Chains A and B, each alone.
Chain A
Amino acid sequence: MTTVAPDQVEAPQKGFAGTSIPRKEDKRLVQGEGVFFDDVKRHGMGYVHFVRSPYAHAGIVSIDVSAAEAVEGVYGTLIGEEVAAQTDPFFEMSTPPGSEIRDYALAVGKVRFAGEPVAAVVAETRELARDAAELVEVEYEPLEPVLDAVAAAEPGAPILHDEAGSNVVWSGKFEWGDFDEALAEADHVVKIDRLYFHRFSSTPLECAGALVEYDKGIAQWTLHCNHQMPGIGIVWMAPALRVGTDKLRIVTQDIGGGFGNKITLHPYFVALCLLARKLNRPVHWTEWRTDQHTANTHGNERTFLDVEVPVKADGTMLGFKVRAFDDAGAFPRYEPLGCIIWAQVTPGCYRWRHVLVDFTQTCTNKSPTAPNRGYSRMQQLWFTERVIDVVAHELDLDPVEVRKRNYIKSEEMPYETPNGCVYDSGDYARCLDIALDLIGYDKLEERRKDAESRGKLLGVGIGSTLDSGTNNFGQSQLLNPELQFSGNNEVATARLDIFGEVVVTLGTTPQGQSHETVTSQVVADLLGITPDDVHVRAGHDSYWNSHAGFSGTYASQFAVTGLEAVKGATLELASQIRRLASVILGADGPDDIVLEEGMAKRKDMPEAALPFMACGAIINVNNAGLPPELDDVTLNCRYVYRPPFQVPDHETKFGNLTLTYATQIHACVVEVDRETGVYEIVDYAAVDDCGTRIHPQIVEGQVHGATAHALGAATFETFPYDEDGMLLTSNFYDYHVPHALDMPPLKTGFIESPSPFNSLGTKGMGEGGGAGIHCVCAAIQDALRPVGNPVVTESHNPYHRVWELLQDPAASRAGIEVTGR
């Protein structure tokens, strides 16, 4: 085990934490007894179907809903004009011109992507709603679409948002270190004219949706839904609906995967709120699979231009310069945050000190982008890994040695990056060694020869990534200094009930991350009970008062923010139990009380013990005669965890953007068929370091799942558009996600470098799988070196793309230049 700054780290707890106990969630889920939003029904509810734009870009001349409303069984409709009258545009985070964009729940006056909702129809059955939606007549005036982020920034490009007058959402320069000095110091400069990270999404199996009820008497909506970030969700929704945040009650229980794709559901949910109020009945909307693909959120597509990398003769890289164009799609719904989130991992795993980034984000006539597992960092980390491999190959250096030469070293931790982020702990070189060992790297040359004898090209690739967890929302102020977001928070409550039940409530919205189980481990250890004794409420309900402004499950943070909140609330509960027991048992003070086996015992006289049941009963129902010093003992404790963040410097864009950095080093071996370009991953290893692991089996499950996402994206998953702006992969026929037969054998390894920046030593780690994309790109490039040395410049490499590289390797090399050779 790697141990960093041990004097700052609490010793790992002895007890349930650290062991893979059975999951609390499983009993209901394996029996089909989970409650997903679509399982919630209400008497008289209407089913919602959205009428969507068939054009990528068009003016709306007229909408006629009369024929639909005339159908028996149709309860009503909603169109953009009503939305514009009854709501305010959603809050925009950018500076001008992006801040001028007016984004509503339904299209108003114009459509900006194929699939954009234009109207909604509510009927007594979902089939009838769909039929009636066909009767809504919309007259469009088609406009020329713009589908490329770089082209969208050119003068004369079609403008999506006339009120903004430009397609640029946000643009700015980031300059850290002294890039000119790095150029002067370099022996070589490697130039790459274009790298491209493609558009895809994690496509959770459960589509988005909600059952929305409106209580007219108290003017309040209840949303039974699968929103994964309710804290920020209501910050978008409440002002748009012109109500206070308390008028929106968000309820979730089981959520069928999220991966970030269920963060920006607010346009749909506001439309549902308006319908529930207008029709005075519960309304139910379940997104169709095609709608999720065409009109829910996509991951950010990014183009890197004019890359320059100064390198020393020994392979030491000094930094990089790049112009990056990020495609936000039609509306900046979570954007422009992607324009800064990448900076959490500016130099990737490397000791690069001189960085010059010119970043521009534009709108295009495609589905809006938003967080997708590895949000914005995955693109940056792919960029750093491509740079490493291109430089290594162009200078004829060993990619393993180049990595080790440039990796930040374990003894340098905590390490401050050029832009002020602090990598807390880790040992990248050691993780790489483990990964290489797992894929049989020592036999590589032998295996190359063997593959060659079978007509195959064998290649090895490495992907080194960091999963930066626990955001400092103050980074948003580097985009717009006027924004009033900074820091982070999460909430938990811990309570002892009348019969001694320990009840814990979370502000989080798990979508498979096992929060009930992991919480019970931490609580059990602190209270001297077992996880079975801890009842963790499933899901989220804003009526529980256990949430804060940033509550939700996103951005790899539960293991820090969620568990620190749990720990804080539980420690307060433990303290109150000790104080109560001290008085009742006549001890010298709370320090004389120990909690074990479900009892509060006197240390000096263990037979003097108060069962938790008695504690709960005394405070809740049998409290006459208690002394005044126990007046504040409620046995109902709420704790808000706030990580220790400062606001980053607006001018220099310098500051710590995230609290923890989990490491993932992946390595793979591929065999490419020389004739067809078809390749197979024949060995794969994922080595993870997320600090102290509370539940190793759950950690490994996250590694498996994130790796599958990456491998899907590397080979199969893409959201391409045709020249008219029509998505070509709008269902699971065309958008192929990995099936059981597609997955290569996975080997996993781990080390534990506890984080010195939280009391449990944990790090968020769910989003680290991007390394799979990077190592497949690297392995393909390595395999193809003997046949013209083509360069892999795109993140998505289906078999036909590899065939193209085999046919015309020179074309891929046209944009590569090395000076000072």
Chain B
Amino acid sequence: MEPVTSKRITVTVNGASYERDVDARRLLVHVIRDDLDLTGTHIGCDTGNCGACTVIVDGLAVKSCMMLAVQADGVSIETVESLASDDELHPLQRAFSAHHALQCGYCTPGMLMSAKHLLDNNSEPTENEIRRAIQGNICRCTGYVNIVEAIDAAARGEVPA
């Protein structure tokens, strides 16, 4: 008997349901980027270190290069594309801009999703808790100074309109 090497999965991404046939070895991040064309989620390392591919899976921050697409069957996923609504930016997005928490913008989507996961679970984080929450996200541009400030400002509701 031929081994089964692909599977049909159903995932909910940013509120929309998708059904796709995926290879057993296909990474979730490739389904998100290539099959669903949600290219806001980035890839920076292949080893689960950099966090550019961070998305929220059933309420948990997950590096989508560390999850097989077949493991995502039945889950609900939030990507960076879900943050803004009706062209109004999420407070974290506004805070990142106001505090110059991004330069090249490559790590930003993953950083935002890790920050969102933090604030979803801890509305008043300390600076150390903020740093711990994003320790799995590498930024090569900012030295994290303004990212930490931006997340803190968003937590406090101190963001420009």
Q: Which residues of A contact B (CB under 8 A)?
A: 20, 22-23, 25-36, 38-39, 41, 126-127, 202-207, 254-257, 259, 286, 288-290, 511-514, 697-698, 700-702, 704-705, 707-709, 731-733, 737-741, 743, 746
Contact = CB atoms under 8 A, between A and B. Distances in A.
A704 B146 contact: yes
Contacts of A743: 143-145
A568 to B, nearest CB: 26
10 contacts: A26-B105, A38-B43, A39-B39, A257-B104, A286-B43, A289-B44, A289-B47, A737-B138, A740-B131, A741-B135
A733 B131 CA distance: 19
A27 B97 contact: yes
A606 B121 CA distance: 59
A289 B47 CA distance: 8
Contacts of A203: 140
Contact of A705 (B39, B105, B108, B140): B140
B108 A704 contact: no
Given A740-B135, A746-B145, A26 B140 contact: no
A255 B141 CA distance: 12
A537 to B, nearest CB: 17
Given A255-B104, A732-B47, 5 more contacts: A30-B93, A512-B104, A513-B103, A705-B103, A709-B140
Contact of A697 (B30, B41, B100): B100
A257 B42 CA distance: 13
A41 B37 CA distance: 10
The 4 closest A-B pairs by CB, nearest first: A32-B40, A256-B106, A29-B105, A512-B104
B27 to A, nearest CB: 9
A26 B96 contact: yes
Given A31-B89, A32-B39, A741-B131, A205 B46 contact: no
A708 B143 contact: yes
B13 interface: no
A32 to B, nearest CB: 2
Contact of B112 (A30, A513, A702): A30
A41 B96 CA distance: 29
Contacts of A257: 103-104, 106, 140-141
Given A32-B81, A36-B106, A732-B47, A705 B135 contact: no
Given A26-B97, A32-B38, A704 B145 contact: yes
B132 interface: yes
A704 B150 CA distance: 15
A27 B46 CA distance: 27
Nearest to B40: A32
A127 B103 contact: no
**Interface of B: prevailing SS:** loop
Nearest to B145: A704
B142 A732 contact: no
A32 B104 contact: no
B102 interface: yes
B8 interface: no
B59 to A, nearest CB: 20
A127 B69 CA distance: 14
B135 A256 contact: no
Contacts of A738: 143-144
Contacts, number: 174
B147 interface: yes
Contact of A708 (B43, B81, B144): B144
A38 B30 CA distance: 12
A32 B142 contact: no
Nearest to B81: A32
Interface in B89-139: 89, 93, 96-98, 100, 102-109, 112, 130-132, 134-139
B39 to A, nearest CB: 4
Contacts of A254: 104-106
Given A257-B141, A740-B134, A205 B47 contact: no
Interface in B32-65: 33-34, 38-47, 49-50, 52
B25 interface: yes
Interface of B: 23, 25-26, 30, 33-34, 38-47, 49-50, 52, 79-81, 83-84, 89, 93, 96-98, 100, 102-109, 112, 130-132, 134-148
Given A255-B104, A257-B140, A701 B146 contact: yes
A705 B138 contact: no
Contacts of B145: 704, 743, 746
B80 A31 contact: yes
Contacts of A698: 100
B144 A31 contact: no
A40 to B, nearest CB: 9
A738 B131 CA distance: 12
A512 B135 contact: no
B23 A127 contact: yes
- Which of A205, A259, A733, A741 lies at the interface centre, i.e. has the most chain B CB atoms within 10 A of its CB? A205
B80 A32 contact: yes
A206 B44 contact: yes
A255 B83 CA distance: 22
Given A30-B96, A30-B112, A708-B143, A205 B105 contact: no
A750 to B, nearest CB: 15
A704 B47 contact: no
Contact of B140 (A23, A204, A702, A731): A204
A514 B144 contact: no
Contacts of A256: 42, 44, 104-107
B103 A514 contact: yes
Contacts of B136: 739
A658 B153 CA distance: 41
A280 to B, nearest CB: 23
Nearest to B23: A127
A532 to B, nearest CB: 14
A126 B102 CA distance: 30
Contacts of B100: 20, 23, 697-698, 700-701
Contacts of A513: 103
A31 B140 contact: no
B42 A731 contact: no
Contact of A26 (B42, B49, B102, B135): B102
Contact of B103 (A31, A32, A512, A709): A512
Contacts of B107: 205, 256
Nearest to B98: A22
B44 A31 contact: no
A743 B137 CA distance: 13
A36 B52 CA distance: 13
- Which of A25, A28, A256, A743 lies at the interface centre, i.e. has the most chain B CB atoms within 10 A of its CB? A256
A732 B143 contact: no
A731 B46 contact: yes
Contacts of A741: 131-132, 135
B112 A740 contact: no
B131 A202 contact: no
B157 to A, nearest CB: 18
A127 B136 CA distance: 26
